[in-house]
Amino acid sequence: MTLADEAGPGLSGIDQLRALIEIGVQPPIGQTMEFDLVSIDEGRAVFTGTPSQRVYNPIGSVHGGYAATLLDSACGCAVHSLLTAEQAYTTLELKVSYLRAITAQTGEVTAEATVVKMGGRAAFAEARLTDARGTLLATATSTLLVIQR
């Protein structure tokens, strides 16, 4: 059983995600990397997190995988919000562009994603990662496969 199923079997994607937000449950990846799904609407998802030295790479900045994980999560949940109870998804491709270095001093970051196109078998989403001042840190585009459960 998945965390989304535990939120409420038979719920649409958006209702599953809203239930998770309401009960304050985050998936293990969010716990590990200390970020949260904070807002969900149809075709839109927002995550926030505050990177720490726990996610640093050897050169002394936040590993690019932190930004990529936030952006992938936001794109995935934006698509998840449009799924029926009988559908699921998986990421086929994620393209990330890193625009600025992120450090523990960057503070809270926000990943906001929107669905560009929702098809019967494939979905396309884009996301932006910004700091508290609105400075653009990274962007992503994603192609996701929509599957039947």
Give the DSSP letter string of 33-96. Answer: HTEEEEEEETTEEEEEE---GGGB-TTSSB-HHHHHHHHHHHHHHHHHTT--TTEEEEEEEEEE
Domains of the chain in sequence order: 3-148 (3.10.129.10)
Tens-place pLDDT, residues 1-13: 666 667 767 899 9
Tens-place pLDDT, residues 57-103: 999 999 999 999 999 999 999 999 999 999 999 999 999 999 999 99
